[in-house]
Amino acid sequence: MLDSADKAVNQGVAPVTYGQGERPPRGDYASARADYTGEQRWSDYTPQEHDLYRRLYERQASQLPGLACDEFIEAVEHLGHPAQIPRFDELSEKLHRATTWEVVAVPGLIPEEAFFALLAQRKFPVTRWLRTPEEFDYIVEPDVFHDLFGHVPLLFNPVFADYMQAYGAGGLKASRLDACELLARLYWYTVEFGLIATPQGVRAYGAGVLSSAGELQHSVRSPEPSRVHFDLQRIMRTRYKIDSYQATYFVIDSFDQLFAATAPDFTPIYRAVREQPEIEAGAVLPGEPLVGVDCAGA
Ligand code: PHE
Ligand code: CO
């Protein structure tokens, strides 16, 4: 059997992913290094790809006011002029100056252990390829637009940047404790689909919502989903959907709250969570207070 260190090493082929799709996994794993990083090969992007990136960027940027948190809106400027797919090396230089993070190119989805190891080194893996024009509205796998537009702006925020590194280190530990599924729920409901309460109302900070044409509006404004106050064990117990808008979002009060709540050793927390029943996506527990969309913490 492979131990977890071996599993983190690129063997030149795409990792096995859950679920099935029409499309084979994209990405050139053969030319990536052992840690799955490789060259962005910026000059290989076509004018049509730069133009598709610009259209994705402009559609998303126009939706941010009133829906994205201020920290994201301020930081999205760092991605530079949207006329072209950013050069990862230039972006890394800026990011390194701000929070000592950098972005590294990867062929696509990579195994959990490899992903955690990069985050723990303050390296954010960004898929090098862009979706096809047919995927303008919806894409199953993360591409360069999701990874850059969704994830990179908040890496300029010092508290969120530290949270991401702590998550990586925590992931390596969770692999040893066989707790990756529980920890993945935390990533999903914070880094990908997190909401934050502000004096102006609920806003988005999760990359999955911020890079989605339809879900950004839905997550912040729709009366359909349940919006639950951030609670670590509640999140680890909650299943999630990968092929539709989320039925539950979790709302933090601040990035400081998120960082502090996830700082303790998770070893006893994983044990406590395993003793409790799982919660279906969208379910609300008896007596559980929900967050209203218009006012912070209501
Ligand atoms: N405190 C967690 C642990 O001990 C590590 C962690 C921090 C995980 C932040 C996620 C986010 O495993
Ligand atoms: Co993502």
Write down the catalytic residue from 146, 175, 212, 219: 146
Tell me: pLDDT of 288 over 60: yes
Dist. CA 116 → ligand 1 center (Å): 11
Dist. CA 133 → ligand 2 center (Å): 20
Residues with Cβ–ion distance below 5 A, ligand 2 = 142, 207
pLDDT-derived band at 78, boundaries 50, 70, 90: very high
Tell me: pLDDT of 298 over 50: no
pTM given for the model: 0.94
Q: Is the CB of 173 under 6 A from ligand 1?
A: yes
Ligand 1 closest atom vs CA 259: 9
Please tell me the predicted confidence (pLDDT) of residue 17: 62
Average pLDDT over residues 130-139: 94
Q: Is the CB of 266 under 6 A from ligand 1?
A: yes
3-state secondary structure 62-122: CCCCCCECHHHHHHHHHHCCCCCCCCHHHHHHHHHHHHCCEEEEECCCCCHHHHHHHHHCC
Give the β-pairing of 201-204 and 195-198.
Answer: antiparallel
Average pLDDT over residues 190-202: 97
Write down the catalytic residue from 102, 112, 151, 219: 151
By the 8 A CB rule, do 110 and 11 touch?
no
Average pLDDT over residues 221-228: 97
Dist. CA 142 → ligand 2 center (Å): 6
Write down the catalytic residue from 49, 113, 192, 215: 192
Q: Is the CB of 167 under 6 A from ligand 1?
A: yes
Write down the catalytic residue from 211, 212, 219, 226: 211
By the 8 A CB rule, do 91 and 149 touch?
no
User: Which ligand neighbours the alpha carbon of 150 most closely?
Assistant: 2
Dist. CA 143 → ligand 2 center (Å): 9
Dist. CA 260 → ligand 1 center (Å): 10
Average pLDDT over residues 75-92: 95
Average pLDDT over residues 174-190: 97
- Whether 146 sits among the annotated catalytic residues: the reply is yes
pLDDT-derived band at 297, boundaries 50, 70, 90: very low
By the 8 A CB rule, do 29 and 107 touch?
yes
The protein residue whose alpha carbon is closest to atom 4 in ligand 1 is 265
Q: Is the CB of 265 under 6 A from ligand 1?
A: yes
Pairwise pLDDT comparison (35 vs 9), residue with the higher score: 35
Name the phi and psi angles at 159, rounded to 5: -75, -45
- Whether 192 sits among the annotated catalytic residues: the reply is yes
Name the phi and psi angles at 224, rounded to 5: -70, -55
pLDDT-derived band at 14, boundaries 50, 70, 90: confident
pLDDT digit string, tens, across residues 252-268: 999 999 999 999 999 99
